[in-house]
Structure 1
């Protein structure tokens, strides 16, 4: 008499989150049936490397660290590459794809975030393209003339990193952002000004406190008009105005969503058979993008999906900003927490700021220059303080 069939876990999305949870699932369940559904080719690569690849002379194919076929063999996956997801029937536990329906016992949504689409006037508006995946980078790089002048719409994390990369690779980056300084939602004014000045010295042109209102074609070039009437001619336009968690599949299936797909401390959604991880997930503490929280979540979601509820334990989620012209490490202040930045150090070795909430508790930090070396000590200190607070 045969035993019960092995559990079938379907994962949607082949980024770090998707492959991260698949690795953990395979470690814990050698006999499980694992299916990966992805709209792209399923190759494994580092998404953060997209904003540093130009200066390193990388083509899209050289960014692939493990081909899809090898990933499928290593993890013994049923890889459904090039399959778009059309709908989710949570009641019947069936994922509907362009390649047909796929039933599941447990489903993990790892669909990431989608670039924000901005409304811009002009017949050249469609030339504003994001670089959010390997195919985007391939198209962007292959159509970029040597020494091109590139308009970067957005001076946040991604926009600043691309401006650094473009200028380091011999291109002319022109950044337009509505806010007063680069990374304005993450760092205080003085740090943003220092990033601006360092990149300007590397050739980056800044138009801050401004926005693009129209893009018009001029043969192969594009003419951007700003809200103050300034006109900028560019060979390419990179849209880096932000990302929004991919929630439509979960929302349309009746799962609870807000800014992201709402999950509990184990990564489980409002449906007990479905989990969410990575940029599309909204944890009890809020959104948690970047590499560190993804790996922490994968280590908990895998056993949870297999029947052993495991709480996600997030370490301090500090981020290294890839602006080599001006090194920055930061721990973003939690969204919605009231407080302010306090300067701790301002010298030749760099800047140090702490974000303190209304009780005086440190909730975030920014380090620049050689002070970035304090990152591990800061993370350990804040982690210990959080553990002590939870134990109290």
Structure 2
């Protein structure tokens, strides 16, 4: 049964996913009551910009692209700023918050993801900063002395982008990761090695195949000393934790919704409760997690009409990613994590490299472009879209 244009849709979260679906909802229904519940201040900003903000001279204030007041006015929102969503009363169709219950016709969870906190010993382990929100970046900048040595735990996408941002702006990053190369879960080893070597030439210090056992206060001077699992001691002024994100599913789990790695949703973005949807970093779509900008926008275009009563299937375009390493540009479309296959280098010259991921059925399921080859991104995305359509018809 569809909902009317005057229905109440409650959205939990004010990140890109929350505001993305709110924009689509308002575009489709000028009259619907849209309620936004968020613990944050409600300002709109680009979270991917946090790892490149130094190079762009951004502060936490200038990262805000649209203040909360303007977003609220433009989208005609009933905004509950600084309110925590405590529980979902599914039978009564109410979101229970620190400001009281809110009735809904449709509820959309855009609760995002939270930083993974590795088990690290030492009296200063709690001082490691995970930059996943504007307030985290504000703290990071305030604690960052000029020319600081910055220990980065994790050499995945975020850690490598921060290393690039820091080294190109006069800081001294030291990166520790248990894997053998940066971006090891996204790119073939040959590309990871080139990223490692290029950033090392610029001044990045790598400790790969290692992990941080403890972080202690450096005595008697300010700062920290990290002890690695081989006994190496690394001194730093700031410690940045970039070991990954975990979908924030607790609200959904406590409500009895089906949970996998994230909140499980169908092709319409519906959870196991037909009146509750999930979008963004917290959602696990039929093909898995999709924690990037492109899938969030695609999901919003499907979930908004569905939440208003017109079931609309989410259609994801090829989900390619631009890695923001300016000293060694990379564009990639990563294959699904569980997919079996191999990387094949198909081009390598002065302009850069091109690799294709080919599965066990000899189908292309991903690509990596480096340096000048990055110009092929649009062409590759079109080809990947055609290949996927052809494979789906088999």
With the length of structure 1 as denominator, give the TM-score of the two structures: 0.98
Alignment correspondent of 1:358: 360
Structure-2 separation of matches of 1:135 and 1:61:
10
Aligned residue for 1:62, secondary structure, equals coil
Does structure 1 residue 145 correspond to structure 2 residue 145?
A: yes
Structure-1 separation of matches of 2:50 and 2:211:
25
Does structure 1 residue 275 correspond to structure 2 residue 308?
A: no
Structure-1 separation of matches of 2:392 and 2:149:
51
Structure-1 separation of matches of 2:179 and 2:81:
40
Alignment correspondent of 1:31: 31
Unaligned runs of 5+ in 2: none
Alignment correspondent of 2:388: 386
Alignment correspondent of 1:87: 87
What displacement does 1:143 show? Answer: 1.4
Structure-1 separation of matches of 2:364 and 2:206:
32
Structure-1 separation of matches of 2:361 and 2:390:
16
Alignment correspondent of 2:76: 76
Alignment correspondent of 2:328: 326
Return structure 1 stretches of 4+ with deviation > 2 angstroms: 388-392
What displacement does 1:374 show? Answer: 0.5
Alignment correspondent of 1:130: 130
Aligned residue for 2:61, secondary structure, equals helix
Structure-2 separation of matches of 1:346 and 1:206:
25
What displacement does 1:389 show? Answer: 2.8
Unaligned runs of 5+ in 1: none
Alignment correspondent of 1:302: 304
Q: Which deviations, in whole Å up to 9, do the C-alpha atoms of 1:191-232 show, x marking residues without a partner?
A: 001111111122111000000000010142100000011000
Q: How does 1:57-76 map to 2 (within 5 A)?
A: 57-76=57-76
Structure-2 separation of matches of 1:250 and 1:52:
32
Q: Structure 1 residue aligned with 2:318, among 316, 319, 331?
A: 316
Q: Which deviations, in whole Å up to 9, do the C-alpha atoms of 1:225-270 show, x marking residues without a partner?
A: 0001100000000000000111111011000010000000010000
Alignment correspondent of 1:376: 378
**Contact 2:155 2:176 survives alignment (8 Å):** yes
**Contact 2:5 2:29 survives alignment (8 Å):** no
What displacement does 1:95 show? Answer: 1.1
Aligned residue for 2:187, secondary structure, equals coil
Alignment correspondent of 2:293: 291
Structure-1 separation of matches of 2:280 and 2:121:
33
Alignment correspondent of 1:213: 213
Q: Which deviations, in whole Å up to 9, do the C-alpha atoms of 1:32-52 show, x marking residues without a partner?
A: 000111111000001010000
Q: Which deviations, in whole Å up to 9, do the C-alpha atoms of 1:165-207 show, x marking residues without a partner?
A: 0111111000000000000001111100111111112211100
Aligned residue for 2:362, secondary structure, equals coil
Q: Structure 1 residue aligned with 2:348, among 322, 346, 349?
A: 346
Alignment correspondent of 1:166: 166
Alignment correspondent of 1:188: 188
Structure-2 separation of matches of 1:202 and 1:88:
50
Q: Structure 2 residue aligned with 1:234, among 223, 227, 236?
A: 236
Structure-1 separation of matches of 2:278 and 2:269:
6
With the length of structure 2 as denominator, give the TM-score of the two structures: 0.97
